[in-house]
Every structure is written in structure tokens, then in C-alpha cells.
Amino acid sequence: MGALQGKIAWVTGAGTGIGQAAAVALAQEGATVVLTGRREAPLAATAATIAKDGGKAVVKAGDLTSATAVAAIAADIEKTFGRLDILVNNAGLNIVERSWQQLKPEGVDTVIQGNLSSAFYCVTAVLPMMRKQKDGVLIHTASMAGRVVSPLSGTAYTAAKHAVVAMSHSLNMEECINGIRSCVVCPGEVATPILDKRPVPVSQEDRAKMVQSEDCGDLIRYIACLPAHVCINEVHITPTWNRGYVAGLQQAHVGAGKK
């Protein structure tokens, strides 16, 4: 019997990448997983993968940038299952036009709503259920861009992910008395479809060296399986072959060669 047998988990952005891997990993531990994202077809594919392994998944497609849509899904979860034990707040996106020279208001809205507003909507929708239970785990996918400011991820994405980190820590400050634990996961480069939005294309060779979605999914599974008296507040997961570190080393070697 899996460690999450009888538990209900809601995974957003569950159609691809980290969300899909997390949903599969949680289902393998016995959780019934509610899958949400904009597009129904990728969610159905994730559900089929889970069912093939004998797991249980329910597809609830919706626009997570709509507070009304999020509230409706949360209400349906409560009506159907009577509880929610785990929220994997994973939905996110980025745009190609990332620098201040390129950024326009509509781009700002897209990134902030897709990464930050959606996360807040999901949290506010599920907290009443978890408070009643005096138990619950919130796991948020942020980014190392939520800890380090650099041009790579873009100004809006970096700001949004910093805010997600702050959101998670503030949840622990207020909700610890209700038995609720919040963990923010900050991945470095992960080989997911969001890389396709990079202004500079990322080679398959480089993607193979990155953290893979399944690595993050396994980490999320581990966090979700921890006992109720344990809270991991924040965790960083990065590639061993860290392209930022490697570029720094190369620059250092070039500089040393000029002396």
C-alpha cells in the first residue's frame, strides 16, 4: 500500500512537464489525483498514464488565471471527495519578449497571472478545506529565478517567482497552527516544454544534462509523503552540470589567461 493511499491531491499544470511527473508519482503512492490545466487533451493523456499503472485520476480542465474557475474546481473537489490533502501548485508559463526593452503590459499580465495570480487563487480556494481538516500540504513550483535575479528568465517571470517564494513562507507563518505545511520548490534548468519559449534555443544535448521532470516529480512525491509534524519550507534542485556555473568557470579561465 502506498504512503498516500486514501489521500486526495490536486495538481495544476498537470498536462506536461513537472506537473505531469508529479501527478504520476503521487498516484503511484496511492493518491487520487485531480488534474487541472487549460487543455483537456494533455490532461487526458496524463490520466491514461496513471490509469495504466492502476492509479486513479480525474480530469478537471480550467483556466487557472480565472479566480471563478479555480473556486469552482475546488468546490467540486470538496463536493466529490469531501477533502483535499495535497495541492501541487505547478501551473506556470513564460514569454519570449522578456527584457525591459521588449516587455509590454500584455506580456506582464500574461506572466504575472499565469505564475502568481493563479497560485494565489488556488491557495485561497483550498485553505478552507485544509483548515477544517487541520491538515494539508501545499507544494509550489517556483524557480531558481525566485531566488536569483538574472536576465535569463526575464523580468516579469523573475518577479513572479520571487513572489511565489514569499507567498509560501508566509503561509507557514500563518497556517502552521492549522497543521498546514507549505513548501516552495525552486528548480534550476529543467528539460520541460517551457524551454521552447527561450529566446535562444536550447539544444537537445544541453536538455539531456538538465534536471528532468521525473526528478522534480519524485521530489514532490517525497515532500507529500512526509509526516504531518515535518515541514520542508524550501528546496532547491539544480543540474549537476549547471550552465551558469560552467559559464562562470569559462569566463574565469579566460580572464586568468589574460594576466
Contacts of 237 (CB under 8 A, 6+ apart): 185, 186, 187, 188, 211, 215, 216, 219
Q: How many CB atoms lie within 10 A of CB 194?
A: 17
Q: Between β-strands 234-237 and 136-141, what pairing exists: parallel, antiparallel or unpaired?
A: unpaired
Considering 121, 157, 222, 245, which one is annotated as catalytic?
157
The reply to whether 222 belongs to the active site is: no
SS3 letters for the chain?
CCCCCCCEEEEECCCCHHHHHHHHHHHHCCCEEEEECCCHHHHHHHHHHHHHCCCEEEECCCCCCCHHHHHHHHHHHHHHHCCCCEEEECCCCCCCCCCCCCCCHHHHHHHHHHHHHHHHHHHHHHHHHHHHHCCEEEEEECCHHHCCCCCCCCHHHHHHHHHHHHHHHHHHHHHHHHCEEEEEEEECCECCHHHHHCCCCCCHHHHHHCECHHHHHHHHHHHHCCCCCCCCCEEEECCCCCHHHHHHHHHHHHHHHCC
Half-sphere exposure of 249 (CA within 13 A, CB side): 6
Residues identified as active-site? 157
